[in-house]
Amino acid sequence: MAYDLPVVGGIKNLLIGLWVTLRHLFSHAITLQYPTERWTMPERSRGVVVLLSNKETGELNCTACMLCAKACPCAAIMIERHRGDDKKWKVDSFSVDNSICCYCGLCEEACNFDAIKLTPKYEFSTYDKSSLIYDVHRLQELGRDVAYTPRVKKAPAAAASTATATTPEAATETPTNPGEKGEGD
């Protein structure tokens, strides 16, 4: 009699599993047929790293400041640079090792010049691991068709607080006595 309980419970669980399978058997499939159908990737999805350049001149936005290389936790970005005649840094080589890149986006956040971006492109598989190291020319070529809008730079907190304190509206809204509270408080 004690042996009947696990058998009955097992048969019950088997029938529940078969019912779930039967219920989903006749529903619409949600699978994409990959080579012919592709997902539309969201705008801020992180795929391959590209270098952005000026659309009119074709000149890179990169100023070789190395902020992206310093921000990279995997050390996937390698930059070689030199000082030009105008005392500005010039890029000699810029490469990204996509085999160790973790696609975290810290390089994009660190760049002050909108020179580097992670794009929604994702189909870059290869049989040769050494071909996953992209140089400056390949990165620039991949970034040519990337539409981007320059980020709005935020003012530093100290500068923003002094700017609001000097406006006449801010001076009238702040209470004169430290013990006084405003209307909404």
pLDDT digits (tens, 9 = 90+) for 33-82: 888 888 888 878 888 999 999 888 888 999 999 999 999 999 999 999 99
Continuous segment of H or E residues that includes residue 15: helix 4-25
Q: Which backbone phi and psi does 66 adopt, to 5 degrees?
A: 70, 15
**pTM listed for this prediction:** 0.65
Q: Give residue 120's pLDDT.
A: 87
Cβ within 8 Å of residue 3, ≥6 positions away = none
Residue 80: inside a domain: yes
Q: Give residue 20's pLDDT.
A: 93
Distance CA 185, CA 179 (A): 12
Distance CA 71, CA 112 (A): 12
Which regions of the chain are under pLDDT 50? 170-172, 174-175, 182, 184-185
Q: Give residue 138's pLDDT.
A: 95
**Integer distance in angstroms from the first to the last C-alpha of the chain?**
72
Residue 179: inside a domain: no
Residue 56: inside a domain: yes
Residue 89: inside a domain: yes
Q: Give residue 17's pLDDT.
A: 94
Residue 19: inside a domain: no
Residue 121: inside a domain: yes
Residue 166: inside a domain: no
CATH value at residue 70: 3.30.70.3270
Q: Give residue 171's pLDDT.
A: 46
Residue 111: inside a domain: yes
Structural domain count, the chain: 1
Range of the domain at 89: 49-143
